[in-house]
Structure 1
Amino acid sequence: MALTIKKIEAAKAKDKNYRISDGNGLSLLILPSGTKTFVYRYRRPVTRKENNITYGQFPELSLADARCLHAHAKALLTKGVDPGEDRKIKKSEESEDNSFKNVASEWLNKNSTEWTPKTHSTNQGRLENHVFPFIGQMPIAEITPKTILAILQRIEAKGIHETAHRVSALCSQVFRYAIFVGKVENDPAHVVKNALPPISKTRKHRAALTDPKEVGKLLRAIEDYTGHYIVKQALRVGLYTFTRSIEIRGMEWDEVDLDRREWRVPSKRMKMRKPHIVPLSSQVLSILNEVKELGLPSIYVFPSVVNNSNMLSENTLNTALRRLGYTKEQLCYHGFRGTCTTLLYETGWPTDMVERQLAHVQTNQVRAAYDHAQYIEERTRMMQSFADYIDSLRDGGSVIPFKKRA
């Protein structure tokens, strides 16, 4: 006799498991605990061995839904397909589609147009090296705060504390994306982010000079640089403009307007994918005119010393600093930004103006437009005053804060 809702509800637990048949192989299994589960007992089409499929528990799975699932399983068996194996394959595929690695890869691809290639590669590398080997194949919905914490502690144990914080932030962004697309309901990485020591206690900043007298020595060392002329001029312009390595190395003549005293860096080379205007001091204009007079057949202002059709290689500027006698613990090219920022802050220039010159993106777009309109003239004066100031340090002048206003 077929099952009914009343019959299912009236079924009582016994000392042992027992079944009530619905016919055609479908039955209700009642456990001593009182749990009621719809199951299908059948023989595999190839081996003829007996096997069971569990459809789900009552009342979470209704009788009508259990019969639908059963009808599908029976149809597969009629075609010679093992319904148990079919379910395993589909579950595996579903689990793979929603694995942490697949969701993270989806997120990386979505953001690829917003990041520079280097940022994309760095983020992908951190996930591949520190996360994917441990939870890459796990269904993202099954990952717990404890799982994430174990990954972060493993990284921290290697002494790379900043990397642990960055990996934590990356995982959190992946989970937030997964929430947005409906694959998870919470962010376990956010739960454990405070379990790591504060980054301020462990972070190693880029090596930079902050003593004005040491900055003066640096400029004199660059003036006496005996390496390639182009590399020397790139270092000088880099220090006067405190731009990033990729920005200075990829600088093209078409981006420079000598008459307007501006260098417009396109978004493709900016870290945040936003175009940036760099006001040019008279010192930088003089250097650019000297380089232009060389008549090098290149679109780049500072072409590769090996091939004019390429930009300077990534390590060239740091290698030049090593030739000048600076170790990587003392100074790296990116440290120019820290050096210049420190000098600007110590001499009283407004934070908003300095941050705008560093191309730190203003998240409020209305405010960003206002900043641009208000600060471009003041930034031009700031860059000229700054260039004059560090020149005075180079020439052995007294360490007196340069004036903010022209």
Structure 2
Amino acid sequence: MTFKEVADEYYESLVDRELAPATLRKKRWHIEDLAKPLHNRPIDQITAAELLHLLKPIERSGRRETAKKLRATISAIFRLAMVTMRAPADPSAALKDALLPPKVKGRAAITDEKEFGQLLRRLDDYPGWPVIPAAMKFQILTCTRPGETRGARMQEFDLDARTWTIPATRMKMRREHKVPLSDQAFEIVMENWSEIKGVELLFPSLISNRKLVSENAFNTDLRRLGFSGDEVTAHGFRVTASTVLNSRGYNPDVIEAILAHQDTNVIRRTYNRTTYWNQRVELGQIWADLCDEFRSL
């Protein structure tokens, strides 16, 4: 049995689990391109030294994170081979400490309240197509990730309860996330609500109202507003909210629940999800009101 045959089985299992398209594309890239030298090798004959020879050039090119994630993909393939009796062990396990750790680079974010107010004013005054700044303001108010906002569908909203339920398939941690809508966020929802039959997206693309806005749309418009990539990115909005709210002394557990961060403690995670709803509603409105205050600084 070759490495490629087992790898294809592994990939099909990911498809069956309905992983996000972006995750599937990355796994396919790992298997088809980066691991190509292993394709025709009998999986039970591949050694740790052979894998190191594959991974080290990627690491030396500066792509430490890619090397780390490729090793993880290879390891998952070998674990499948092990449980199906096609390989005696996972040789990639020996490489865990043989690769250099990725260089951690934080999300570029504005954490000064006055400077963030300037960004919000520029979004308010943006002269171009209004959907992108509206979507970015909605992302800021809901403390969600850009992809979660871009993919927001009208059927996910309960207008009576003023909530937005993001399905697990679109969440980074693969866990459904219910978002209470502040007055300001709810207003954006209503302003962008479409009655056109067949339109599902709250913030559709200019090209087609049935397509998502592009993955780079938010950051492109931030550059047009005069902010460099070293100053702020759309992913950095969550850093802004976390920094401001923590610095003002609000409950860090509630802040983490708002950000949908995964608590490693299962009992504590369940407790947080069931206990902090009212606090999240309150703090979400406080954050929206603070954003309005920042505009006047």
What is the TM-score normalised by the length of structure 2? 0.89
CA shift for structure 1 position 362: 5.1
Aligned partners of 1:150 and 1:341: how far apart in 2?
41
Structure 1 residue identity aligned to 2:295? R
The share of aligned pairs that are identical, in percent, is: 38
1:378 matched to 2:279? The reply is yes
Aligned partners of 1:353 and 1:175: how far apart in 2?
40
**Deviation digits for residues 174-209 of structure 1, max 9, x if unmatched?**
22222222222322212111122233xx13333333
Map of 1:316 onto structure 2: 217
Map of 1:139 onto structure 2: 42
Counting only pairs closer than 5 Å after superposition, residues 56-95 of structure 1 correspond to structure 2 as none
* Partner SS state of residue 163, structure 1: helix
Map of 1:249 onto structure 2: 150
Relative distance call for 1:300 and 1:114 in structure 2 (3 A) is: closer
Counting only pairs closer than 5 Å after superposition, residues 253-268 of structure 1 correspond to structure 2 as 253-268=154-169
- Structure with the larger RCO, 1 or 2 (CA within 8 Å, 6+ apart): 2
CA shift for structure 1 position 337: 2.5
Aligned partners of 2:279 and 2:180: how far apart in 1?
10
* Partner SS state of residue 259, structure 1: coil
Relative distance call for 1:180 and 1:359 in structure 2 (3 A) is: farther
1:150 matched to 2:53? The reply is yes
Map of 1:185 onto structure 2: 88
How many matched pairs? 295
Relative distance call for 1:102 and 1:342 in structure 2 (3 A) is: farther
Larger radius of gyration: 1
Q: Name whichever structure is richer in strand by fraction.
A: 1
Structure 2 residue identity aligned to 1:121? R
Map of 2:256 onto structure 1: 355
Map of 1:302 onto structure 2: 203
Map of 2:5 onto structure 1: 102
Unaligned runs of 5+ in 1: 1-97, 397-406
Aligned partners of 1:278 and 1:296: how far apart in 2?
25
Runs of 4+ in 1 over 6 A off after TM superposition: none
Counting only pairs closer than 5 Å after superposition, residues 152-171 of structure 1 correspond to structure 2 as 152-171=55-74
Structure 1 residue identity aligned to 2:46? I
Unaligned runs of 5+ in 2: none
Aligned partners of 1:198 and 1:281: how far apart in 2?
40
What is the TM-score normalised by the length of structure 1? 0.66
Aligned partners of 2:250 and 2:73: how far apart in 1?
34
Structure 2 residue identity aligned to 1:129? D
CA shift for structure 1 position 257: 1.7
* Partner SS state of residue 263, structure 1: strand
Q: Name whichever structure is richer in helix by fraction.
A: 2
CA shift for structure 1 position 364: 6.4
Counting only pairs closer than 5 Å after superposition, residues 181-260 of structure 1 correspond to structure 2 as 181-199=84-102, 202-260=103-161
* Partner SS state of residue 195, structure 1: coil
RMSD: 2.3
CA shift for structure 1 position 366: 5.6
